[in-house]
Chains A and B, each alone.
Chain A
Amino acid sequence: MKFKLVISAVIVVGLTLCSGFYYNSAFSQSNKEFRTFVGGLPSKETAAKKATHQKERKEMLKRMSEKLPNGNVEATVTFQHFLSLSEVQKLIDKYPSIEIKRVWYWVPGQDGRAMTIVKGRDIKKSVDDAIKRLEKSNHDVNVKETLDKMSKGNLGVFSISVKGKYSHLNEMSNEEVIKLIDVHYNEGLEKQAKEAGKKARYVELPEKPDGSR
C-alpha cells in the first residue's frame, strides 16, 4: 500500500513539476534576449540621469576610438535641437567616410516620430520621397494631418543613424549641434550575450530635443 501511495505522490509531484517547468520555460525563452536601447535614455528618465548616461556613453566612444580606431560600428546620433533637412545634409557632407543609414524626423513639439531609410546620402530626397510614399499608402487620419504639415516644411530632424569608424565618429561628436553619438556597443551586454551564445541587439529610441515623445 505504501508503495502505491509513494508512486501516487511521485506522479503528482512529477506532473506538477513538469507543468511548472513547461510554464516557466515558455516565458524564459521569451526573456532570453540581450537587448538594449540606444539614442539616449527614454523620455521618462530625469534630466540628471540622462546627463550622466550621455557622459558615460561619450567617454565610451572616446575610449573605443583610442582602443579600436578603425573598428566599424553603427551609432545613433541625436541633436541639441531640431535640424532642417539642409542642415543635416551639410553636416553629413563634412564626413564622407561615415555611412548614413536612417533619418528620424517629425513635426517639432508634437508627440510621435517617423524614420526613413536614407538612399544615396541624400537626406532631402529620401525624406521627400518618403512623405509622398506615406501620403499615398497612409490609412490613418492622424498621419494625414501630420504628413500635410511636414510636406509644407514643418519638419525637423532629431536623429540620424550612421555607421563608421570609431575614430571618425569620435571626431564627429565634437560638432556643436550633436548631443550624443550613441554607438551600438555595450561591453556588459556583449559579454553576457556571448556567454549565452546569443547576439546582442540594439533598438534605436533616439531622444527628441524638445521633450516630446
Chain B
Amino acid sequence: MWSIKSSNTADTRFVKKTYNRRMVFIMWKKHSLSVFLSLLLTFVSFDSTYAVVNGDSVQFDKWFSPYSGDGGLMKGSDSTYSYLFFGSAKWTANGVSTFDSTDCWEYEARMTNPDDFFRGVRDFVAYVPDAYYEYESGQNPDDNDVTIGSHDPDVITAEKGYSGTLYLEENGSQSDLSSLTLESEYGETDLIYDCVPTEYESFGVGYNTKIDFDND
C-alpha cells in the first residue's frame, strides 16, 4: 500500500495525483474487459428495471391491481362470442386509499389488431365506478387493445368484489389468437379526462386461459 508521510508538501501532492492517475490508467488497462462488462451490467440493470416495472414481480408494488380475483379473455359457451372479464376482484384498503380523485384504472387485453379475431362489441356489464370500455382496432400499433376501465377507482370499496365483462362477437378466427397480454394499469386523467397510463403490470396468457390476481 502507498503511504504518504508528509501530505503537506507540493511534491507529495504531485506524487499522489500522479499516482492516482496511474492507478486509474492501470486499472483501465488491466481490467478494461471488467470495466466494460460492469458498464454493460449497468445498462442491463436499467433494462431489467423496466422489465420489473412492467412484469409480474414480487419486487413491484402493485397496489393499483386487485389482490384477489381472476380474469381472462375467454371463449363463450357457444361459438358466437368471447368475453374479456375480471371477476370477484378485490382491492386492499391501502390500494384504494392510494388512488386519488384524478386517477383511473384500466384492465386491458393487448393483441394484434382485435378485428383479426372479433367483429366488435356485443354487450358490456361492469360494477366498477364510472365504468367504460374501449374496443380499438386498426393498423396503428396503438390500436391493439380491448379495455374495461374505471374513471373513479378512488371510490372503490376495499375488500368488496368487483366485476366487469365485455362481450365480443367472434369472427371465426379466434384459434389464431394464441397469446395475448393482459394488463392492469393505473393512470391519471388529463385536462380532457383521458386516462394517461402511469404504471402497469402485465400477464402473458393464452386465449381462454384464466389468470389469478395475487398481489399479496
Chain A residues within 8 Å of B, Cβ to Cβ = 1, 4-5, 8, 11-12, 15-16, 18-20, 22-23, 26-27, 29-33, 35-37, 41-44, 111-117, 130, 133-134, 136-140, 142-143, 146, 186, 188-189, 198-199, 201, 203-205, 213
Contacts and interface: CB of A to CB of B under 8 A. Distances in A.
Contact of A23 (B50, B130, B155): B50
Q: Do most interface residues of chain B lie in helix, strand or loop, or is the interface mixed?
A: mixed
Contacts of A5: 24, 28
Interface stretch (B6-14, B90-98, B131-139, B173-181): B131-139
B194 A18 contact: no
Interface in B64-123: 76-77, 81, 83, 85, 87-88, 101, 120-123
A203 B192 contact: no
B43 interface: yes
A213 B46 contact: no
Given A112-B127, A117-B121, 16 more contacts: A26-B50, A29-B142, A32-B142, A37-B192, A44-B154, A111-B129, A112-B125, A115-B124, A137-B81, A140-B163, A142-B127, A142-B161, A143-B165, A189-B192, A201-B134, A205-B130
Given A8-B28, A19-B43, A143 B123 contact: no
B152 A114 contact: no
A146 B163 CA distance: 12
B19 interface: no
A139 B140 CA distance: 34
B123 A115 contact: yes
B126 interface: yes
B196 interface: yes
Interface residues of B, number: 59
In order of increasing CB-CB distance, the 7 nearest A-B pairs are A19-B46, A213-B129, A115-B124, A36-B192, A112-B127, A140-B163, A42-B151
A57 to B, nearest CB: 12
B28 A112 contact: no
B167 A137 contact: yes
A36 B142 contact: no
Nearest to A20: B46
Contacts of A143: 125, 127, 163, 165
Nearest to A31: B196
Nearest to A114: B125
B133 A41 contact: no
B76 A43 contact: no
Contacts of A203: 132-134, 149
B138 A43 contact: no
B197 A30 contact: yes
B216 interface: no
B132 A205 contact: yes
Interface of B: 21, 24-25, 28-29, 35-36, 39-40, 42-43, 46-47, 49-50, 76-77, 81, 83, 85, 87-88, 101, 120-127, 129-134, 136, 138, 140-143, 149, 151-152, 154-155, 161, 163, 165, 167, 189, 192-197
Contacts of B36: 11
A44 B195 CA distance: 14
Contact of B193 (A4, A26, A42, A113): A42
B163 A116 contact: no
A137 B80 CA distance: 11
A134 B47 contact: no
Nearest to A212: B129
A20 B50 CA distance: 10
A12 B129 CA distance: 47
Contacts of B189: 42
A79 B126 CA distance: 20
Contacts of A11: 36, 39
A35 B194 contact: yes
Contacts of B101: 44
A147 to B, nearest CB: 9
Contacts of A113: 124-126, 131
